[in-house]
Structure 1
Amino acid sequence: MKKVIQLLICCLGAFLVITNSFSQKGESTESIQELDSKLEEIFKSSDLTGISIVVVNDKEVFYNNSFGYADVATQKPYTNHTVHNIGSVSKTFIAAAIMKAQELGKLRLDDPINQYLPFQVIHPKFPDVPITLRHLAQHTSGISDDNAYLRAYVLENPIDDYSYLPDDFAKNLKVIAQNEDLSYAMFFENVLSKNGKWYSNKNFTKKAPGKRYNYSNIGAALAAYVVENATGVPFEQFTKQYIFDPLGMEKTAWKINDNNREEFASRYVTKNTMVPAYHLITSSDGGLITNTDEFGEYLKEMIRGRNGEGAILSKASYEEMFTRTEIGKESSGIFWGVNEKGTLNHSGSDPGVVSIAAINPSRNVGVFLMTNISADEDKQLMGAVLEIWTTLKHHRWE
């Protein structure tokens, strides 16, 4: 159900890798008013429900605006303070947590993960090759999502009627409806431990750890569980203490709570079809709840960190987190995508949400976008998101 948005990833590499004024040949907007008008035109011609955008440098917010509805039925506006889960961009926070835990002397990236787990995770085809935390953080662990990841989704309430939902979406929800809510530990043990309830050789790829890039949500969430075990602090508390609180991210959390509940958006699979309420057992791989106002602060910190001036991590930690490692035809930092020109990026999607983050360190600019509809499931919706990205790319950020 969760996808890497390939069309957008292709655009991320080019995004902001442009001239000093951040414009390219082609139609560009000169003023914020003109940009607003263009974005609103794109939005109104699409079936997007709500969308929010923030553009920053290391010190200030260039642009933060939202369009549409957080709830279509009540016409509650989607604002810069509207929150919902953002999908796999959440993984960048696992990266920061790993680096902080390493700074605290609680773990090392090249440690075998089994020294921090209450059960053993061993690649069945390569039992003598230990899986390390770096393997998890660069998607080379050999852990596969294909056979088990749908088990990580849990519906908040039973569904009696699936007929109003698109066929493929309904098919997945019928599988998810059978899932039971489990602890982090029980989920991983069931999937990855040899005696686990859902253990299978199919939960692993055919390549040895460290040899091939294979994007894994389960592997990413396992990395967060390693941080939790190594530090002795629940992952939610660890990230709040070392990331959210220092950056003033008061509404950002891994669960809906009293502090963000009123601003939580309805999520949609089509413009008038809401996604049934759900959550992720493996919340760290895609369940972060935030808004563009607060994510902009995080984005500014990431830019400062890339410039050697970060506050939440050391210069050495940022350098290691953003270092590009080539893995066959792929490349990765620590959970961040890093292209050959140094652009940092990550995208995310889950039922009813899409998000994209990109940073161009050489131009000192970062962009984040989030929407409360499954845009990756529809070509027209995805086309609108791409047009918004192109418009942002051509704007003269000065």
Structure 2
Amino acid sequence: MRRALMVAAALAAALVLLGLALPRQRHVAAHAETFDAFMAQMLEEAAIPGAAIVVVRNGEIIHSAGYGFADVDAHRPMTPDTPINLASVSKPVLGMGLMRLHEEGRLELDVDVNTYLPFRIDNPRLEGEAITLRTLAAHTSGIGDFYDPEEYTLGADAPQALDGYLADLLAPTGARFEAGAHYLKTAPGEARAYSNLGAGVAGAVLESVADETLAAYQQRTLFEPLGMTRTSWRIADYGPHELAVRYRVRQCTPLLPMCADTEQPAWNEIVSRVFDPPRRSSAMRPTLNSAIPTTPTAVERIGARSWRADDGPLERRRTWRRACAYSGKHGGNASPAGWGA
């Protein structure tokens, strides 16, 4: 056993030394003389196809710019008005809808979500547990993380309704319940475990209480009132070549059969930080969209304007702050009640 450990340690040390001897990416962005030069170099160093920024001061946009490409193959430039997939940053947007319903007295944060759902969720490992919106928001609900990229539909909206999809996975009568395979052993509120599936349950609660889809509800109550004309939960609402292409970036170490991509975060971290291969060895290929696409300038509307406005129920400071507030610490990690990414 000791000999095996020594051999493994020697191999690991040899790999590290070899990695140090291999060509590495030059990092010069920090020494750029202008911000535009910094951004251009940073995109190259980090193998990012495109990015857009919006700078807000006192609730007003003072600068916006796009860098790189929204579509690398078509050389379509990125702009501040290019709709970009927000991925998990969509969760605070969902939080805005839930807090609106809460302020209207239509749902409570600390009651069992089965009160609202059209199906029943139940962790077979526990007795008498109550999963609430607050524990869902804090990622302490006891629902495990789950998503399957193979189930995504390329360039189209999901064919199955949200409540049906969740019932299949989480309801004891669901076709894919698998003896509660998607639940954890911890009781709600005990431990933090990031859960996209839990956020989906919160979305189903919103749809049940509002009696309309999440997409329709937030289009009517949030996006349209704020003039967010290029924001929607539905891919079908966007025209051809309107969205920024979402890329999966793969990088390989020179001379070594060692590759990783953005779908392998832990291994990707090792390859990028230990070996730091030149970005010319990186490859980008389109991948599937998920969550809500919107533009950087629209994010300013939902953020800065909602924060400062106090003249209506939609944009009250209290709603935005509660949607992004911290609900406590679990396992050393602060847990945003606003579905923090």
Report the TM-score when normalising by structure 1.
Answer: 0.63
Preserved contact between residue 99 and residue 313 of structure 1 (Cα < 8 Å)? no
Shift in alpha-carbon separation, 1:249–1:189, aligned structure 2, 3 A: same
Shift of 1:46: 4.8
- CA-atom RMSD, angstroms? 2.6
**Tell me, what secondary structure is at the counterpart of 1:93?**
helix
Output aligned runs, 1:216-255, within 5 Å: 216-255=195-234
Higher RCO (CA-CA < 8 Å; seq separation 6+):
1
Offset at residue 77 of structure 1 (A): 0.9
Structure 2 CA distance for aligned equivalents of residues 279 and 47 of structure 1: 19
Deviations 1:119-155 (A, max 9, x none): 111122223021111111111110002xx42178423
Show the counterpart of 2:173. 195
Q: Which runs of 5+ in 2 are unaligned?
A: 1-29, 250-281
Deviation at 1:99, TM superposition (A): 0.4
Take 2:324 and 2:235, find their aligned partners in 1: how far apart are those partners?
30
Instruction: Check the 8 A contact 2:85/2:289 in 1, yes or no.
Output: no
CA shift in 2, pair 1:28/1:303, >3 Å: farther
Query: Aligned in 2, Cα 1:318/1:47: closer, same or farther, shift over 3 Å?
Result: closer
The CA deviation at 1:260 is 4.7
Amino acid at match of 2:327: T
Tell me which residue corresponds to 2:303. 299
Q: Which residue number corresponds to residue 334 of structure 1? A: 337
Structure 1 residue runs of 5 or longer lacking an equivalent are: 1-26, 158-179, 281-286, 338-345, 347-398
State the partner residue of 1:275: 286
> Do the aligned partners of residues 92 and 312 (structure 1) sit closer, same or farther apart at CA in structure 2, a change above 3 Å counting?
same
CA–CA separation in structure 1 for the residues paired with 2:313 and 2:64? 23
The structure that has the greater radius of gyration is: 2
CA positional deviation for 1:196: 1.0
Pair 1:290-2:294 in alignment? yes
Q: Which residue identity lines up with residue 337 of structure 2 in the other structure?
A: I
In structure 1, the residue matched to 2:43 is 43
Structure 2 Cα separation of the partners of residues 336 and 203 of structure 1 = 19
CA deviation vs aligned residue, 1:170-197 (integer Å, no higher than 9, x gap): xxxxxxxxxx942212110110001111
Deviation digits for residues 35-56 of structure 1 (CA, Å, limit 9, x no counterpart) = 2232223234553211111221
Distance across 1 between alignment mates of 2:242 and 2:328: 40
Matches within 5 A, 1:27-38: 34-38=34-38
Q: CA deviation at 1:317?
A: 3.0
Instruction: Name the CA distance, whole Å, in 2 between partners of 1:263 and 1:324.
Output: 35
Say if 1:266 and 1:289 are closer, same or farther in 2 by CA, change over 3 A: same
Alignment check: 8 A CA contact 2:306 2:317 kept: no
* 1:1-12 matches, cutoff 5 A: none
TM-score calculated relative to the size of structure 2:
0.73
Query: For this pair of structures, how many residues does the alignment match?
Result: 276
Partner of 2:325: 323
| Aligned position for 2:127 | 127
Distance 1:93 1:83, change over 3 A: same
